[in-house]
């Protein structure tokens, strides 16, 4: 085992440099003419980053949770309106009926 | 032609200077990228990207470091970025396979054959390349620059922008970790 490991560790000794493929300059020039990444490619790359994607997912879950928790409770304004309306209904002091207008005599 | 003259010509937008730069440094860039990404097509792609970046940003190069040091830094940055992108794609592929039920059919790193390695060393080198993928990034960079690119510890320190002592320490830890990984590799 030790011999194998030592042989592997020494396997880069006397290694020659790998040579680049031919016509590299032509390919570089072609790439420069094609231009750089578009805005959409850059945006896709940014959104695709694990940190950004995970944060986005957490935000969506958080917003959903907030809507679920706070969305079901009735509004304060509705409550106040109901409270204000209740005595009116109870004592009928604003109600004018046709009967009241027609019977003007005591 | 000396380096300041070449840089001055590049900064003036001299096309023949750029041709000379590519001719002179293409193997340095390609070999370094290949040592990191362990894939010839990817290394070729990175080599092109490096020279495009050099062409676009040579005006900001102040010449404080050697041209080769600058090129090594750009190459290593691009190669490591490429690795990260590939890992992200792999993670996404795992998720995709979970839903589609497909099986992975990619080659393992142990099958990588560096074209500059001597024939009788190919098998051992493939195991070493596999082990290199398992160790921390900075140890891998130091080991690749020293062993595959033949840079001295001092040059590695300049490229990695660190001290000679730090490189010695990185190399020591790299060898230790590689030994462990190779033992695991041969034991399976």
Structure-token pair, residue B17: 């200077």
- The count of residues in chain A is 106
Residue B99 is predicted with a pLDDT of: 63
Domain chopping of chain A, boundaries: 19-102
B186 and A17 in contact by Cβ < 8 A? no
Residue A19 is predicted with a pLDDT of: 93
What is this model's ipTM?
Answer: 0.79
Close Cβ partners of B69 (under 8 Å, ≥ 6 residues apart): B155, B158, B159
The B-side interface with A (CB below 8 A) comprises: 19, 22-23, 26-31, 34, 40, 43-44, 47-49, 51-52, 55, 88, 91, 114-118, 121, 124-125, 127-128, 131, 147-149, 175, 178-179, 182-183, 186-187
What CATH number labels B107-188?
1.10.10.10
CATH architecture of B1-106: Orthogonal Bundle (1.10)
pLDDT higher than 60, residue B34: yes
| Category of B95 on φ-ψ map: left (φ > 0), alpha (ψ -120 to 50) or beta | alpha
A11 and B117 in contact by Cβ < 8 A? yes
Give the tens place of pLDDT for each residue, A37-74.
667 777 887 887 788 888 999 999 999 999 988 887 66
**What CA dihedral angle connects A68, A73, A75 and A79, to 10 degrees?**
170
Using CA atoms, how far apart are residues A48 and A15, in angstroms rounded to an integer?
38
**Chain B nearest C-alpha distance from A31 (Å):** 8
Alpha helices, H only, B65-159: 67-100, 122-132, 137-143, 153-159
Using CA atoms, how far apart are residues A63 and B139, in angstroms rounded to an integer?
43
pLDDT higher than 70, residue B166: yes
Give the tens place of pLDDT for each residue, A80-104.
555 555 655 666 555 556 666 566 6
pLDDT higher than 80, residue B89: no
Radius of gyration of chain A (CA): 39
Domain chopping of chain B, boundaries: 1-106, 107-188
Backbone angles phi, psi at B114, to 5 degrees: -75, 130
**Chain B residues near residue A12 by CB distance under 8 angstroms:** 117, 125, 128, 147-148
């Amino acid at each position: 085992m030790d011999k194998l490991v030592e042989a592997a560790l020494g396997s880069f000794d006397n290694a020659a440099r790998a040579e680049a493929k031919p016509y590299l300059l032509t390919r570089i020039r072609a790439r420069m003419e094609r231009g750089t990444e578009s805005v959409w490619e850059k945006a896709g790359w940014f959104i695709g980053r694990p940190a950004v994607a995970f944060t986005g997912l957490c935000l969506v879950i958080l917003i959903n949770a907030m809507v679920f928790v706070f969305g079901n409770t009735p509004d304060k304004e509705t409550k106040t309106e109901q409270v204000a309306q209740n005595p009116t209904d109870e004592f009928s002091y604003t109600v004018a009926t046709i009967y009241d207008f027609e019977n003007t005599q005591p | 032609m000396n380096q300041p003259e070449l840089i001055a010509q590049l900064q003036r937008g001299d096309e023949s200077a750029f041709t000379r730069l590519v001719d002179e440094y293409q193997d340095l860039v390609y070999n370094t990228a290949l040592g990191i990404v362990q894939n010839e097509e990817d290394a070729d792609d990175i080599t092109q990207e490096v020279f495009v970046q050099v062409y676009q940003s040579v005006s900001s190069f102040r010449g404080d470091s050697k041209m080769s040091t600058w090129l090594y830094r750009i190459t290593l940055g691009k190669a490591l970025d490429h690795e990260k992108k590939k890992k992200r794609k792999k993670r996404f592929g795992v998720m995709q396979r979970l839903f589609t039920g497909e099986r992975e059919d990619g080659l393992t790193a142990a099958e990588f054959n560096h074209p500059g390695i001597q024939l009788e060393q190919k098998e051992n080198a493939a195991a070493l390349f596999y082990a290199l993928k398992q160790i921390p990034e900075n140890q891998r960079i130091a080991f690749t620059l020293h062993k595959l690119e033949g840079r001295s510890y001092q040059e590695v320190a300049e490229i990695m922008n660190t001290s000679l002592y730090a490189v010695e320490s990185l190399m020591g830890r790299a060898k230790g970790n590689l030994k462990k990984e190779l033992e695991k590799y041969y034991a399976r």
